[in-house]
Chain A
Amino acid sequence: MKKRMRLTIRTRNVLEAYSFLSLWLIGFALFMAIPLGRSLYYSFNQLKVTKEGLVPNWIGMANFRRAFSTDVNFIPLLQDSILGLLIQVPLILIFAMFAALLLNRPMIGRTFFRGVFFLPVIIASGAVLVEMLEQGAERMPLFTSSSLFLALVDIIPRDVLEPLLTLADKLTLVMWDSGVQILIFLAGLQTVSLSLYEAADIDGATKWESFWKITFPMITPMILVNTLFTIVNSFTSARNEMMLYIRDVVFSKNDYGYGSTIGWIYFILIFLLIGLVFLIFRKSLSSTEGRR
């Protein structure tokens, strides 16, 4: 008791903060820091499964060499998943922004439409999505029906039409994936003060101009949040092929060391990608700072 009295307010504050944070920090060490370090160590080893557990055997860079030279599956998979992200992220962002702008209009049934747009987050993720994709449910009859194809093939050349319809197919998946992002954009749109639009309107700005001069700069932070969320969400997505491949390597082939290696390569590439995102946003973020 006496000792506690002697603490300054500042020390007490620090102690309190860390006591609130301690549970999370212990968890971080247990479930994040130590596994991450171990996985880095394993990536330079070959792990043998014995009765005493996993026995590491140092083989240096051999796992990394294998990933980039002998493994025929890994590089194409890596390319696919990174390229997939690079295409998916802007598509999701554009669609989510578009949907949020529509849903932000005052109208009858707004809550209903918002509820509908969020529905795929509840049902079309995880196992159910996998089942539906297997049945080709993402290919809406609208786009794949032969009558639409035949109707359009006269107007648009076949070489252009086919990829176009395939893209339309892919778009349904993009739309189903953007539920949370729409909500985040909506929340962002609500924070933009209406008086800004009024002022722009009085000064003669068109809707188009006030979108690019007001809305877009004001919700740049939300674009960053959504970009990060989309990238992070793709890791645990049921359609993440890197995850399936690592699971296959680790649990079917019992190749623990190599599994860690490709996990780390994936991690490094993702971090480079995220670094790039931050670099792109740094300028626009610092310019919006303090405007709120």
Chain B
Amino acid sequence: MKSSLSLDKLLQVRKSVMDLGNQTHAWPYTVKKKVTLIISRISLYLVLSALSFVFVYPLLFIVSQSLMMPSDVSDSTVQWIPRALNLLNYKDAFAALGGSANRTYWDAFGLSVVISFGSALLQVFSCALAGYALGRYRFPGYTACLSLVLFAFLVPPQTIVVPLFQLFSDFHWINTFYPFVIPSAMGHGLKGALFVLIFIQFFHRLPYVLEEAARIDGASAYRTYWTIMLPLARPAMLVVFLFSVVWHWNDMFEPNLFLRIPNFYNLSQTLGIFNGIGSSQIDAATSGLTAAQTIGAAPTIMNKVMAGAMLSILPMLILYLFTQRYFVESVERAGIAGE
């Protein structure tokens, strides 16, 4: 500690000596430095704020569109803020997000919750198991197994669509949540291989001392894993859980494959068919208009669809509101970027 301090001081002295050498400017060096610092600070904030606008734009767009009434849409003075706060769009969207006549929003919502939170929870534990094996042990076949994980990460799901669908219909799992939950329970499912890689990376960096101490004290490998290593992996578990929830919630590819009747649609799908109903009406209404004109004068059904979009994404927004810190920090703490 002390030696590093004195080193810092040495560097400072060296720097100030060099600064002295630079003082041939019209302004004193410190003032000039301060001015450039302030300018760079201001431009940093300007750039960041401009970029932030692009990133918040989708949310602003959804909120603003979803609150607009027909009168606001046709009124050219209304750009962003509707004339009156009107939640009628939300009422209609809430009804439509059930997907079919005998379902409500909450049915589709419940299915989405089971699929995303259920799969995420299972993936956390199953991927941790595989990650622990590959992050801590060296065994014959290690390289082969590691390559299998990488391979599973890189295979496009497009390629195995047909056999997977066949497999799940043989099991009579179509229109249930099993095609999401069961592969997740085995460390697969949506981006399962990526999660295994995260755990491998994390376990790989933990010190071996704790584990060895537990083993010497007579704990079995499984007990060591469960009581010592897994609790240590909490940051990685958090990353995997949060990302898995969000990705499952937003995913359209697997639900569209395995949930095939509107009675078993989840939220992202009911939003999709809501728009399907809407767009056919739009086509009829705007068939004479060019694409550019349609964007300006979007028929009011789209405002309802935007209300639907808000309703379908609101649970994730609330989750993000409370866990934002973990999302952003945990990637660092989990050491995904390790080696």
Chain B residues near A31: list those with CB within 8 A.
164, 167, 183, 186, 188
B59 touches A123 (CB 8 A): yes
Q: Which residue of A lies closest to B137 (CB)?
A: A17
Inter-chain contact total with CB atoms closer than 8 Å: 290
Chain A residues near B271: list those with CB within 8 A.
127-128, 131
B337 touches A222 (CB 8 A): yes
Chain B residues near A20: list those with CB within 8 A.
129-130, 132-133, 137, 221, 225
How long is the Cα–Cα vector from A53 to B279 in the complex, in angstroms?
Answer: 35
Chain A residues near B166: list those with CB within 8 A.
38, 53-54
Known: A128-B271, A137-B61, A235-B157. A38 touches B163 (CB 8 A): yes
0 or 1 for each of A114-136: is its CB under 8 Å from B? (1 = yes): 11111111111111111110111
| Cβ contact of A16, chosen from B11, B58, B221, cutoff 8 A | B221
Nearest-Cβ distance from residue B333 to partner chain A, whole angstroms:
9
Q: Is B155 an interface residue (CB 8 A)?
A: yes
Q: Is B325 an interface residue (CB 8 A)?
A: yes
A190 touches B126 (CB 8 A): no
Q: Is A238 an interface residue (CB 8 A)?
A: yes
A120 touches B55 (CB 8 A): yes
Chain B residues near A188: list those with CB within 8 A.
337
**Known contacts A256-B162, A270-B154; can you find 16 more A-B pairs with CB under 8 A?**
A17-B142, A28-B188, A116-B55, A122-B246, A122-B313, A127-B269, A131-B275, A131-B305, A132-B309, A135-B295, A136-B295, A175-B51, A175-B55, A198-B11, A228-B153, A259-B162
How long is the Cα–Cα vector from A34 to B134 in the complex, in angstroms?
Answer: 23
* Residue picked from B48, B187, B190, most chain A C-beta under 10 Å: B48
How long is the Cα–Cα vector from A118 to B317 in the complex, in angstroms?
Answer: 12
B186 touches A26 (CB 8 A): yes
Chain A residues near B149: list those with CB within 8 A.
24
Q: Which residue of A lies closest to B8 (CB)?
A: A198
Chain B residues near A164: list those with CB within 8 A.
none
Sample (24) of A-B pairs whose CB atoms are under 8 Å apart: A17-B137, A18-B133, A20-B137, A24-B126, A27-B126, A27-B187, A32-B152, A42-B162, A102-B47, A107-B44, A116-B52, A116-B56, A119-B59, A121-B246, A127-B268, A127-B309, A128-B58, A128-B309, A131-B271, A140-B54, A175-B54, A187-B332, A191-B337, A228-B153
0 or 1 for each of B306-339: is its CB under 8 Å from A? (1 = yes): 1011001100110010001101100110011111
0 or 1 for each of B118-144: is its CB under 8 Å from A? (1 = yes): 000000001101101110010110100
How long is the Cα–Cα vector from A16 to B154 in the complex, in angstroms?
Answer: 27
Chain A residues near B126: list those with CB within 8 A.
23-24, 27
Binds B, one of A59-67, A155-163, A209-217, A243-251: A243-251
Chain B residues with a Cβ closer than 8 Å to the other chain, count: 103
B256 touches A247 (CB 8 A): yes
Q: Is B159 an interface residue (CB 8 A)?
A: yes
B331 touches A186 (CB 8 A): yes
Known: A30-B186, A134-B279, A136-B295. A39 touches B250 (CB 8 A): no
Q: Which residue of B lies closest to A14 (CB)?
A: B139
B160 touches A130 (CB 8 A): no
| Cβ contact of B336, chosen from A115, A175, A187, cutoff 8 A | A187
Q: Is A89 an interface residue (CB 8 A)?
A: no
Q: Is A70 an interface residue (CB 8 A)?
A: no
* Residue picked from B57, B139, B140, B155, most chain A C-beta under 10 Å: B57
How long is the Cα–Cα vector from A130 to B339 in the complex, in angstroms?
Answer: 36
A128 touches B159 (CB 8 A): no
Q: Is A6 an interface residue (CB 8 A)?
A: no
How long is the Cα–Cα vector from A131 to B55 in the complex, in angstroms?
Answer: 17
Chain B residues near A92: list those with CB within 8 A.
none
Q: Is B161 an interface residue (CB 8 A)?
A: yes
Q: Is A13 an interface residue (CB 8 A)?
A: yes
How long is the Cα–Cα vector from A28 to B193 in the complex, in angstroms?
Answer: 10
Complex interface residues of chain B between 269 and 321 (CB less than 8 A to chain A): 269, 271-272, 275, 279, 291, 294-295, 298, 302, 305-306, 308-309, 312-313, 316-317, 320
A202 touches B158 (CB 8 A): no
Q: Is B62 an interface residue (CB 8 A)?
A: yes
Q: Is B196 an interface residue (CB 8 A)?
A: yes
Complex interface residues of chain A between 54 and 85 (CB less than 8 A to chain B): 54
A263 touches B156 (CB 8 A): yes
Chain A residues near B256: list those with CB within 8 A.
247
Q: Is A292 an interface residue (CB 8 A)?
A: yes
Known: A119-B55, A263-B160. A221 touches B279 (CB 8 A): no
A127 touches B57 (CB 8 A): no
How long is the Cα–Cα vector from A270 to B152 in the complex, in angstroms?
Answer: 13
Q: Which residue of A lies closest to B183 (CB)?
A: A31
